[in-house]
Structure 1
Amino acid sequence: MSTRTATDAASGLPYGLLAVLWLVGWTLRVPILTAPPLATDIARTFGLGEAGVGALTMLPVVAVAFGAIPAAWIITKFGLRAAIVGGLLLSIAASVSRGQVPSAALLFAISVVMGLGIAICQTALPSATRAWTPSHIALASTVYLNGMMVGELSAAGLTRPIVLPLAGSDWQLALVLWAIPLLAVVGAVLFARPSSHDESSAQETPSPSASIPRLGDLRVWQYGILLGSSVVAFFVVNAYSGSVLQARGEQAALSGLLFAYNSMPLVASLCLLATPNLIGKRTPVAISSIASVVGLAGFLFFDGWASWISALIVGYAATVETILLVSLPPSIARGTAVTRLSAGMTLIGFSLAFVIPVFGGWIADLAGTVELALYPALGFMVLALFSLGQQAKYPAYE
């Protein structure tokens, strides 16, 4: 069976491979985002408090950050297809196992394992876009990132109203049901047939150590800080909007705002699907970075409709910036350098995305003022603007 059809060859677009990349992107967000809708059930089963519930979502994110370096080694050692299949199977098995472990400690441990599986796939995808779709790198990047956005909405929006009733209100069984379509994606990756030239380009460097990020490289920090800024912008509004609106007496607007806000990634990814030529250019990154800063400042300093609209600006602009930056490695690097740059950016960006909001929450708790939780994020985002660089197009990375 081959995912390259006669239609693909005639049109020049590898539709089958683009579909596989989209499905893998979708799969990477479903295991993480099934936890929040099931949080009350999981907390009741394991006796978790608020901090424990938050850790269920954040631990896989931290694992994605710190798993980027071993993921880069694994990808170069075993190849793209094996790494993606292995990472998917690991994340799926760990996701299902969350409902089978006997203690909270094991629940957290298996959540970290799940994050490591996701890290392998997430680090491999930029290289896969260059190796499997070499003539459509920018389009393939936006396609798999669109899959991630749809995965977020699928897990957050379908788990409680559809999957949990199908499981008879058993959250452990709900995790098993989610594994069925995820396993189908593994099959799609196994049946995908990139050309032999594309496959070999993924492994042109024989030494796995060549894929380890160079953390002394200023460009890795430049792009990693920008990525961290975009992820921080999106996460901090999601994390603290409920407390901010409650403090303002606007809690009635919370559900509507969160739905609209978490729809912005899908809108942004669809817009970039129509304009993949923006990838690799500095100006769109700069515009989205500045818009995120303005939006977060508006959410912080305004109230009512002005604040809510500002939040939506953050959701849209931060997603655009994230997609442009995650798509950057395959557009400016080749071979193992793609994996090396992607892994370094992921390590730096996602680590900052965890530390800065937590630091803001700590300050807010000390001062007793919830708005202070947003100040470290806003300050960091302003400082990150100095990492944009001067060139109109980001130069090639070796």
Structure 2
Amino acid sequence: MRTETARNAVTYTPYGMLAILWLVGWTLRVPILTAPPLATNIANSFGLGEASIGALTMLPIVAVAFGAIPAAWIITKFGLRVAIVGGLICAGAASVGRGQVPSAELLFFASVIMGLGIAVCQTALPLATRTWTPTHLALGSTVYLNGMMAGELSAAGLTRPIILPLANFDWRIALILWAVPILIVAILVLLSRPANTDDSSNLPDRQNPSPVTSIPSLRDRRVWQYGILLGSSVLAFFIINAYSGSVLNARGESEALSALLLAYNTTPLLASLCLLLVPHWIGKRAPIAISGIAAVIGLSGFIIFDSWLSWMSALLVGYAATVKTILLISLPPKIANGTAVTRLSAGMTLIGFSLAFIIPLIGGWIADKTGTVVIALYPALAFLIIGLSALGRHSEYPHYK
């Protein structure tokens, strides 16, 4: 009887918790990527320039990076479920607040608060995967990351054609409509009960003397190793979105921009669906190395070539960078246990997202100084190449304590 019970525990697929993980993943990208489609409307309301609109999109991402460490403390102090529910409520409420504020300054402040809420959830999800789907770690990771990719596509693709008309073309109401499902997901997480798992991770960690044990150390070599790898993949994807418009315009190919961006921002969903078929890739060096090399080749092609060959190179970047990002974000629950999962995830997020924010700024500054747009991509390409040195020597990444 015990043997049969153990066998059932191993083979049981927790579909309910996988659905919860997917929904939480979906909410992590929707509030961030609703701003770009509404940029014109928001700019007209507050008289914002291009730099301010760019900051509106980037501020939540910066908050995710620098919010990772306090998020790790919150998760260990208050428990996994409370942290995720609180993060979702914070993100949803701040998203609503962005549409109700009377000034641009408060708009930016609400965007930062929203990013901090997202940071808590994003840092918690690797531990949630290990806790809620312990017999299906790789599948759980790919499922919630597929949710993140679907969230990106939902916000970017549905805001103007569907949500804005439902909001009577009022961007403030549109933000409220997008916040409703976020709050619904928070309720679902609160009511969920994982099956065949030890639910103790939903409580504050009683075994450790202090939540400080979950805070990453910047002297940890492996945090830097995985953070650099994550930063190169996030950077590879972001740099095309950031500068493709300027590059295509300089080449006289601006008529292809809309189609390219649509196709490019579809590649993450395609990549995440493909990885659902090969979850055993998580934790292995070779898939990360191959996708990293493919991203270097793709970005080089986008820089060197023009016309359709350049556009196809960009799509290669989008697909390869997403594969690498998913494999790296899924790594902590695969190679670590307990608070080490949160510590590694938080450190990787801080380093990776910070690099992905800083390097494009350096490229843009060099491009402004030289007057050549495509030079903005050179620092990113150099970092992608240098980042390959962080792959390590092990065919499978060793256990992290």
Query: In the alignment, which residue of structure 1 is the partner of 2:319?
Result: 316
- 1:364 is aligned to 2:372: no
Query: In the alignment, which residue of structure 2 is the partner of 1:19?
Result: 19
Query: In the alignment, which residue of structure 1 is the partner of 2:48?
Result: 48
Moved more, 187-196 or 168-177: 187-196
Query: In the alignment, which residue of structure 1 is the partner of 2:3?
Result: none
Within 5 Å, which residues of 2 pair with 1:240-251?
A: 240-251=243-254
Query: In the alignment, which residue of structure 1 is the partner of 2:306?
Result: 303
**Equivalent residues of 1:72, 1:120 under 8 A apart:** yes
AA of the residue aligned to 2:286: T
1:275 pairs, out of 247, 259, 278, with: 278
Query: In the alignment, which residue of structure 2 is the partner of 1:209?
Result: 212
Q: How far apart are 1:245 and its partner, in Å?
A: 0.5
Query: In the alignment, which residue of structure 1 is the partner of 2:101?
Result: 101
**Equivalent residues of 1:133, 1:140 under 8 A apart:** yes
Aligned equivalents of 2:176, 2:80: Cα separation in 1 = 27
Q: Describe the superposition over 1:4-47 as per-residue Cα deviations: whole angstroms up to 9, x where unpaired.
A: xxxx9796100000000000000010000000000000011111
Query: In the alignment, which residue of structure 2 is the partner of 1:5?
Result: none
Query: In the alignment, which residue of structure 1 is the partner of 2:392?
Result: 389
Q: How far apart are 1:201 and its partner, in Å?
A: 4.5
AA of the residue aligned to 2:46: F
Q: How far apart are 1:73 and its partner, in Å?
A: 0.1
Query: In the alignment, which residue of structure 2 is the partner of 1:58?
Result: 58
Aligned equivalents of 1:194, 1:242: Cα separation in 2 = 45
Q: How far apart are 1:179 and its partner, in Å?
A: 1.6
**Equivalent residues of 1:36, 1:156 under 8 A apart:** yes
Q: How far apart are 1:199 and its partner, in Å?
A: 1.8
Q: How far apart are 1:197 and its partner, in Å?
A: 4.5
Aligned equivalents of 1:333, 1:19: Cα separation in 2 = 23
Aligned equivalents of 1:10, 1:286: Cα separation in 2 = 31
Query: In the alignment, which residue of structure 2 is the partner of 1:225?
Result: 228
Query: What RMSD, in angstroms, separates the aligned Cα atoms of the two structures?
Result: 1.3
Aligned equivalents of 1:80, 1:22: Cα separation in 2 = 16
**Equivalent residues of 1:205, 1:336 under 8 A apart:** no
Q: How far apart are 1:190 and its partner, in Å?
A: 1.1
Aligned equivalents of 1:49, 1:197: Cα separation in 2 = 51
Query: In the alignment, which residue of structure 2 is the partner of 1:29?
Result: 29
Aligned equivalents of 2:164, 2:9: Cα separation in 1 = 42
- 1:75 is aligned to 2:75: yes
AA of the residue aligned to 2:75: I
Kindly tell me the number of residue pairs found equivalent between the two proteins: 391
Q: How far apart are 1:198 and its partner, in Å?
A: 2.5
Moved more, 64-73 or 178-187: 178-187
Q: Describe the superposition over 1:147-190 as per-residue Cα deviations: whole angstroms up to 9, x where unpaired.
A: 00000000011111101001101110111111221221112101
Q: How far apart are 1:305 and its partner, in Å?
A: 1.1
AA of the residue aligned to 2:308: W
**Equivalent residues of 1:133, 1:198 under 8 A apart:** no
TM-score normalised per structure 1: 0.96
Query: In the alignment, which residue of structure 2 is the partner of 1:131?
Result: 131
Structure 1 unpaired stretches of 5+: 1-7
Aligned equivalents of 1:350, 1:13: Cα separation in 2 = 33
Runs of 4 or more, structure 1, over 6 Å off, are: none
Q: Percent identity?
A: 72
**Equivalent residues of 1:134, 1:198 under 8 A apart:** no
Aligned equivalents of 1:397, 1:324: Cα separation in 2 = 16
Secondary structure, in 3 states, of the residue corresponding to 2:64? helix
Secondary structure, in 3 states, of the residue corresponding to 1:123? helix
Secondary structure, in 3 states, of the residue corresponding to 1:392? coil
**Equivalent residues of 1:63, 1:112 under 8 A apart:** yes
Structure 2 unpaired stretches of 5+: 1-7
- 1:326 is aligned to 2:335: no
AA of the residue aligned to 2:68: A
Aligned equivalents of 1:29, 1:319: Cα separation in 2 = 14
- 1:343 is aligned to 2:346: yes
Query: In the alignment, which residue of structure 2 is the partner of 1:88?
Result: 88
Q: Describe the superposition over 1:54-87 as per-residue Cα deviations: whole angstroms up to 9, x where unpaired.
A: 0011000000000000000000001100000000
Aligned equivalents of 1:157, 1:390: Cα separation in 2 = 41
Aligned equivalents of 1:109, 1:255: Cα separation in 2 = 31
Aligned equivalents of 2:326, 2:206: Cα separation in 1 = 26
